[in-house]
Amino acid sequence: MMEHMLPSSYAPPPEGHVSHSRLEKVLRSGRFAITAELNPPDSADPSDVYDAARPLAEVADAINATDASGANCHMSSIGISALLTRAGYSPVYQISCRDRNRIAIQGDVLGAAAMGVSNVLCLTGDGVGVGDQPGAKPVFDFDSLSLLRTIKTMRDSGTFLSGRKITNPPRLFLGAAENPCIPPYEWRPERLAKKVAAGAEFIQTNYIFDIPLFENFMSRVREMGLDKKVFILAGVGPLASARAARWMRSNVPGIHVPDALIDRMEKSSSPGEEGKRICVELIQQIREINGVSGIHVMAYRKEHQVSEIINESGVLSSRSELA
Amino acid sequence: MYRIRLFAIRHSRAFEWIYQRVEQVMVALDPVFGKIGYDRIERPVAFTERCIKTVLFDCKMCGQCVLSSTGMSCPMNCPKQLRNGPCGGVRPGGYCEVKPEMKCVWALAWDGASRMKNGAQIETVLPPVERNLEGSSSWLRVSREKAARLREAKEKGRAAVAEAFADARAKEPASAPLAEEPARACGGNK
Ligand code: SF4
């Protein structure tokens, strides 16, 4: 009886694919992909996850389940991912290296794959100091690259890093993050190349608010031929207010917001609307940059705006349906 | 020692040269070490190594030295101990996310590597640190590993790490070791 509850039987992935992921299919078919981040609940009630997922699912090919991002405690990414697969949604299971060692992570990867997860995003993770429990012990047994290579080995060679055999390997589409708009700018593309070498098949970037910086990054990426080897999804999201933007810039690691944008927010009579408009404009500009395969929307506490933003940007109107 | 560390990275090219010479000597001495017994010399060599490298690089004696692949900037000084950095939190001006008063170890590493002859080695994907090798001599491990590269690997589990990170195994063999470990080198976790 229980076997029939989960959608995926353990079948080989389609020709030319590494997984059953919808996101992988969309990307490999050349369509512009949309992913969106789910704000994890501080609750044990599954309906809180579904309430947050519903508005995102209207437009997203996959929904990211964050792993205690910003080192703050929330429902776990593996729990959220499992709930999402049960309801037929396609999650991106985020794994941060901050909280678990190699024994825990390799086990979780098998567990997640068995629950029907087919995308993972390998992250280093923010330091514990910025979170709500700065006294926690940071683990960082893996880093994002050794984690990528490890999952790739589990999938392609069917072994744990210990050499022990995995009878039925996990079929996972492997992702990593990148942050083009923070130092060392000149080495960010090289670091991306290293992630591709480690096994990354798609990239979701942190927030892009600075188009010229991102264009520089992308032109180097194209020069290195990386856009042909990995699908790049650019991170975007609506700013709530000038104050919130300033707070984010100084308190959340790795976020760069140019002063010009903050000024624009400050001058606007309705900052909420302005933040949305800026986001739509950014998406339209990003869409025109060669080598970008999609966007990743992170709308913190503004899930309800995601489908509006995507529809207004027009990126989906030209997209044909997936067979 | 932060100042000396920055000096070493600024002169990464010279230190790379010195390091290569030391390595050549250690590899050449493999038969001698083998005769005396790696187990016997482990402690004195580890002690000497610790003294020298702590002064120069703020070495943390991880036992799997990869300085030649990290622009002579010791990655164990990164608060997240990344082996393939930098992370996504580097602050404006290249300062560390976790310790804002310090330059990001990995921003320095790429900078150091850009001046080195074999700087491109920084592109190698390195495996996670084997924490049970902490405190042991990396120099002896390099000597053993380079010598053992010719011999076949016996232990299957270690071979899996070496295979998964083949590039790292070729360029920084001590980071994915295959040679047999003397008893004294393998106790960091106890
Ligand atoms: S900013 Fe640099 S030194 Fe600091 S944690 Fe990140 S990679 Fe390590």
Look up the ipTM and state it: 0.90
Q: Name, in order, each residue with C-beta under 8 angstroms of A48's C-beta and a sequence gap of 6 or more.
A: A41, A75
Q: Residue B94 — very low, low, confident or very high, per pLDDT cuts 50/70/90?
A: very high
pLDDT of B67 over the 50 cut: yes
Q: How far is CA A76 from the centre of its chain?
A: 15
Reduce the DSSP state of residue B89 to 3 states and report it. Answer: coil
Say if B173 falls within a structural domain.
no
Percent of chain A with pLDDT over 70: 97
Task: Name the residue with tokens 């519903």.
Answer: A54
Predicted confidence at residue A4, as pLDDT, reads 44
pLDDT interval class at A157 (50, 70, 90): very high
Residue B176 lies in a domain: no
Identify the three-state secondary structure at position B91. Answer: strand
CA distance B121 to A21: 34
Instruction: For residue A194, tell me if it sits in a domain.
Output: yes
- Residue A225 inside a domain? The answer is yes
pLDDT of residue B44: 95
How long is chain B? 190
Residue A106 lies in a domain: yes
Mutate to test the interface with A, among B64, B76, B82, B84 (most CBs of A within 10 A): B84
Note the pLDDT tens digit of each residue in A195-250. 999 999 999 999 999 999 999 999 999 999 999 999 999 999 999 999 999 999 99
pLDDT of B170 reads 86
* Mean per-residue pLDDT of chain B: 90
**Three-state SS letters, chain A:** CHHHHCCCCCCCCCCCCCCCCHHHHHHHCCCCEEEEEECCCCCCCHHHHHHHHHHHHCCCCEEEECCCHHHCCCCCHHHHHHHHHHCCCCEEEEEECCCCCHHHHHHHHHHHHHCCCCEEEEECCCCHHHCCCCCCCCCCCCCHHHHHHHHHHHHHCCECCCCCECCCCCCCEEEEEECCCCCCHHHHHHHHHHHHHHCCCEEEEEECCCHHHHHHHHHHHHHCCHHHCCEEEEEECCCCCHHHHHHHHHHCCCCCCCHHHHHHHHHCCCHHHHHHHHHHHHHHHHHCCCCEEEEEECCCCCHHHHHHHHHHHCCCCCCCCCC
Asked if pLDDT for residue A11 goes beyond 90, the answer is: no
In percent, the amount of chain B with pLDDT more than 70 equals 93
Q: Could you tell me whether strands A292-297 and A231-236 are parallel, antiparallel, or unpaired per DSSP bridges? A: parallel
Q: Is the CB of B10 under 6 A from ligand 1?
A: no
Pairing of strands A91-96, A62-65: parallel
Which atom of ligand 1 is closest in space to residue B85's alpha carbon?
Answer: 7
Average of per-residue pLDDT across B82-92: 95
Number of domains in chain A: 1
Q: What is the pLDDT of residues A90-130, one digit of tens each?
A: 999 999 999 999 999 999 999 999 999 999 999 999 999 99
- In sequence order, what are the beta bridge partners of A178? A205
Phi, psi of B126 (to 5 degrees): -95, 145
Between CA A261 and CA A209 the distance in angstroms is: 8
| B80 vs A: CB within 8 A | yes
Q: At what angle do helices A144-156 and B156-164 cross, to 10 degrees?
A: 110
CA of A7 to the centre of ligand 1 (A): 41
Separation of alpha carbons B42 and B121, rounded Å: 28
User: Ligand 1 centroid to A55 CA: how many Å?
Assistant: 36
Q: What is the DSSP letter of B188?
A: T
Q: pTM above 0.90?
A: yes
Kindly report the protein residue whose alpha carbon is nearest to atom 1 of ligand 1. Answer: B96
B83 touches chain A (CB under 8 A): yes
Q: Which residues, in sequence order, are bridge partners of residue A163? A: none
Determine the pLDDT at residue B24.
Answer: 87
Residue B74: pLDDT above 90?
A: yes
Neighbour-count burial for B10-45, b at 16+ CB within 10 Å, e otherwise: eebeebbeebeeebeebbebbeebeeeebeebbeeb
- Tell me: pLDDT of A2 over 50: no
Residue A225's closest CA among A201, A200, A198, A189? A189
Any residues with CB less than 8 A from the CB of B147 and at least 6 apart, and which? B27, B30, B179
For the Cβ of B22 lying below 6 angstroms from any atom of ligand 1, the answer is no
- Residue B106 in any domain: the answer is yes
pLDDT at B154 over 80: no
Interface list for B 117-156 with A (CB within 8 A) = 122-123, 125-128, 131, 156
Q: Which residue of B has its CA nearest to A137?
A: B80
Structure token digits, residue B141: 């491990």
b/e burial code for range A83-122 (CB count within 10 A of at least 16 → b): bbbbeebbbbbbbbbbbbebeebbebbeebbebbbbbbbb
pLDDT at B124: 96
Q: What is the CATH number of the domain that holds A142?
A: 3.20.20.220
Residue A268 lies in a domain: no
A65 occurs within a structural domain: yes
Structure letter (DSSP) for residue B59: -
Residue B169 lies in a domain: no
- Of residues A310 and B169, more confidence is placed in A310
Crossing angle for the helix pair A211-223 and A188-198, to the nearest 10 degrees: 50
Instruction: Give me the pLDDT at residue B159, please.
Output: 77
The dihedral sign for the CA sequence A306, A264, B95, A222: positive
Half-sphere exposure of A213 (CA within 13 A, CB side): 20
- In a domain? residue A85: yes
The answer to whether residue A7 sits within a structural domain is no
pLDDT > 80? residue A175: yes
Predicted pLDDT of residue A1: 40
- Ligand 1 pocket: which of B98, B110, B111 to mutate (most atoms within 8 A of CB): B98
The number of distinct structural domains making up chain B is 1
Find the mean pLDDT for residues B43-68.
95
Residue A36 sits at φ, ψ, to 5 deg, of -140, 145
What range does the domain containing B58 cover?
2-145
Q: State how far the Cα of B59 lies from the Cα of B52, in Å rounded to an integer.
A: 9
The model's confidence at residue B189, banded by pLDDT at 50, 70 and 90, is low
Q: What is the pLDDT of residues B117-137, one digit of tens each?
A: 999 999 999 999 999 999 999
User: Whose CA is closest to B29, among B144, B133, B172?
Assistant: B144
Query: What average pLDDT does the structure give for chain A?
Result: 94
Report the pLDDT value the prediction gives residue A87, as an integer from 0 to 100. 96
Domain assignment present for A16: no
| Residue B171 within any structural domain of the chain | no
Domain span holding position A31: 22-237+291-313
Residue B156's pLDDT band (cuts 50, 70, 90):
low
Rounded to an integer, the average pLDDT of B23-50 is: 92
The answer to whether residue B143 scores a pLDDT higher than 60 is yes
The answer to whether residue B117 is domain-embedded is yes
